[in-house]
Amino acid sequence: MLKRFMTAAAGLLLATGLAAGAHAADKFITVASTTSTQNSGLFEHMLPAFTKKTGIAVHVVAVGTGQAIKLAEKCDADVLFVHHKPSELKFVAAGYGGPRHDVMYNDFVVVGPKSDPAGIKGMKDVAAAMAEIASKKQPFVSRGDNSGTNKKELELWKDAKVDTKAASGTWYRESGSGMGATLNTAAGMNGYTLTDRGTWLSFKNRGDLQILVEGDKRLFNQYGIMLVSEKHCPSVKAELGQSFVDWVISKDGQKNIADYKLGGEQLFFPNAGKTGS
């Protein structure tokens, strides 16, 4: 029996790694992860290799980081693989799982229309760029879903001293959707948004959108992985889940991540070896 999940509206179930054959059907784990790892195509690239090596299938529930953490807290996942380190460390400190391991990183970028009515293209201070978008009341589409990307975006608005709650529904719009859907909305509105680079590189419906701001150290995007606590969740598949965690941070898993490229460009940069907790 599959683990109980939240309603379909809460996320999308991505079953991958089935190439290992029918024997894997009864040997699987559930990974709560983010839409960026799914939308970028990373899981389609990496999971078949893990299943081929171990015979363990991986079912991914791809939602925002905040929702993924809630799934893990409710024992609806065996492994948590997300990208908001403060929230991950809080999860571990509360006894829900761990230890936490760095896996890989890329960065966030601010994208917007070629015409760039906010005049932010090439700016190196991302908070200053966000402040310009706000001061000129140009359309900005937020994920508004408590995801890792949304958390980062809100940190940047705070740095920019912009009250987005007061602006909600005017120039500031909240999609309540994943990264791909939010980019679609921004493209349709010819507006601005913050996206992880991995999803951006795999995104086809760009319209007039282009990268306008990148390179600020505040745009660094770290991903982490951890096993859900067997003590907190007696139903967790600890041995199988640990096999996945171990593979992801192993030499083979890290090489697999590094080998994933689109148009010759690497989407994620492995950096396992540091334990956050």
Domain range annotation of the chain:
8-105+222-270, 106-219
CA distance 252 to 258: 10
Q: Check if the beta carbon of residue 91 is closer than 8 Å to that of residue 82.
A: no
Q: How confident is the model at residue 109 (pLDDT cuts 50, 70, 90)?
A: very high
What percentage of the chain exceeds 90 in pLDDT?
87
Residue 25: the pLDDT is 52
CA distance 257 to 37: 11
Q: Which residues contact 252 (CB under 8 A, 6 or more apart)?
A: 49, 53
CA distance 79 to 241: 6
The rounded mean pLDDT for the chain is: 91
Lowest mean pLDDT among 13-17, 85-89, 136-140, 149-153: 13-17
Lowest mean pLDDT among 7-16, 107-116, 119-128: 7-16
For residue 1, pLDDT over 60 is answered with no
Q: Which residues contact 166 (CB under 8 A, 6 or more apart)?
A: none
Write down the pTM of the prediction: 0.86
Residue 26: the pLDDT is 72
Residues 29-84 have pLDDT tens digits of 999 999 889 889 999 999 999 999 999 999 999 999 999 999 999 999 999 999 99
CA distance 252 to 229: 25
Identical fold at 8-105+222-270 and 106-219? yes
CA distance 88 to 223: 10
Q: How confident is the model at residue 162 (pLDDT cuts 50, 70, 90)?
A: very high
Residues 193-241 have pLDDT tens digits of 999 999 999 999 999 999 999 999 999 999 999 999 999 999 999 999 9
The arithmetic mean of pLDDT across residues 162-168, rounded, is 96
The arithmetic mean of pLDDT across residues 109-121, rounded, is 98
Evaluated on CA atoms 47, 49, 54, 57, the torsion sign reads positive
* Alpha helices for 195-237 (secondary structure H): 197-202
Q: At what angle do helices 42-54 and 251-259 cross, to 10 degrees?
A: 150
For residue 13, pLDDT over 70 is answered with no
Residue 273: the pLDDT is 87
Select 8-105+222-270's CATH number: 3.40.640.10, 3.40.228.10, 3.40.190.10, 2.60.40.10: 3.40.190.10
The arithmetic mean of pLDDT across residues 83-108, rounded, is 96
Start-to-end Cα distance in the chain:
32
Select 106-219's CATH number: 2.40.40.20, 3.40.50.300, 3.40.190.10, 3.30.70.100: 3.40.190.10
CA atoms within a 13 Å half-sphere pointing along the CA-CB vector of 235: 12
